[in-house]
Amino acid sequence: MEVLGGRGLLLKAGNTRIWLDSAAESDCMSLVSHAHLDHAPGRLSRIIATPETASVLSLFGSYRFEKLIRYGESIMLGDIRVSAHPSGHVIGSSQFLLENNDGSLVYTGDLNTYDSVILRGARPLESETLILEATYGSPRYIFPAREEVYARITRWIVETIRAGEIPAFKVYALGKAQEIIGLVNAYLRIPALASFTISRITESLSQYGFKLEYLPINSPEGLEAFKQGECVYVSSKRYSPPSRRRIRWAVATGWALRYRPSGFDAAFPLSGHADFSGLVRYAEESGAKRIYLVHGFADELAKHLRRRGLRAETLPLTP
Ligand SMILES: [Zn+2]
């Protein structure tokens, strides 16, 4: 199996060509790791993804799906056996293991190795070749334990409500939104209100066993709870219905470890990606003989992995 970078990630094995979260031309087969749009540009056709990913993508575009693949299942693409495994990044996100007579390869997609309140962290898959994302592949990004970040968020929510204001989070509609709702469900006895887009996504995922308790902000119950004020509001846009109470806006992102986004009342280092330690551990435990790094701090992580005796290099991608 050969891996090429450039205008996307292409895997070639004999006559079989499989694009990974990309496709330079239409009518190519693409493995799509999750439903964030930077991994599923609109031109993709013949998509292979988990049912959860397909269900979210279908809300936002007219994608064509070749096959759906569940965690633990495998399918044949040419002479390549492809299996899907949880990647811990968002609901439905998958890492893919590809195997043929030639060898084995893992493509992680976006990866989180730590357990969250809604998802189990990704477990390393063994392979000869590994394509690993490196969003936070720098030693400057080592996150606090998730429980500690959860405790900080919970405290901030309680303090905000005590001050007579409404705590609100501006987060990705798929991923952090469900995690914040799950956190409110697990630790607080107040309603989580979700924006229209987040409600649609969360509702579509409920058929796969993700039963999160929330009220859509555009429902009478949601508006009533918002007016009453003892609630948490989760939205992908910094917009809320009018209220007599002040809204305190927070963000939850790994970048908050080093940067405080301007215009927000609070920022929490809660990430859907593995930090530097998680990525290094994954690379070592995969046993891969060859590692390609993509995205983020790919060069920096490649250098660190080489120092640890691994064969690692960056795979350049152009948008
Ligand atoms: Zn993502």
Q: Answer whether residue 45 shows pLDDT above 90.
A: no
Write out the residues surrounding ion ligand 1, Cβ under 5 A. 36, 110
Question: What does the pLDDT look like over 266-307, one tens digit per residue?
Answer: 999 999 999 999 999 999 999 999 999 999 999 999 999 999
Write out the E strands in 53-146: 65-68, 74-77, 80-86, 94-100, 103-107, 129-133
Cα-to-centroid distance, 89 and ligand 1 (Å): 7
Q: Residue 190, CB half-sphere, CA atoms under 13 Å: how many?
A: 21
Cα-to-centroid distance, 112 and ligand 1 (Å): 10
Q: Answer whether residue 318 shows pLDDT above 80.
A: no
Cα-to-centroid distance, 36 and ligand 1 (Å): 5
CATH topology of domain 2-141+273-314: Metallo-beta-lactamase; Chain A (3.60.15)
Cα-to-centroid distance, 179 and ligand 1 (Å): 14
CATH number for 146-268 (one of 1.10.10, 3.10.180, 3.40.140, 3.40.50): it is 3.40.50
Q: Average model confidence (pLDDT) for the chain? A: 94
The whole-number pLDDT of residue 26 equals: 66
More confident of the two residues 61 and 108: 108
CATH topology of 2-141+273-314 equal to that of 146-268?
no
pTM: 0.95
Q: Is the dihedral of CA 302, 269, 146, 35 positive or negative?
A: negative
Cα-to-centroid distance, 110 and ligand 1 (Å): 5
Tell me how far apart the alpha carbons of residues 280 and 277 are, in angstroms, rounded to a whole number.
5
Question: What does the pLDDT look like over 126-160, one tens digit per residue?
Answer: 999 999 999 999 999 999 999 999 999 999 999 99
Give me the mean pLDDT over the 98-123 stretch. Answer: 96
* % of the chain exceeding 70 in pLDDT: 98
Q: Helix and strand tally (H, E) in the chain?
A: 7, 19
Extents of the domains making up the chain: 2-141+273-314, 146-268
Cα-to-centroid distance, 155 and ligand 1 (Å): 27
The whole-number pLDDT of residue 319 equals: 66
Contact 103, 81 (CB under 8 A): no
Cα-to-centroid distance, 180 and ligand 1 (Å): 16
For residue 137, give Cα distances in angstroms to 3, 93, 206, 280. Answer: 21, 20, 33, 8
Tell me how far apart the alpha carbons of residues 161 and 230 are, in angstroms, rounded to a whole number.
6
Cα Dmax for the chain: 66
Contact 252, 232 (CB under 8 A): no
Cα-to-centroid distance, 45 and ligand 1 (Å): 19
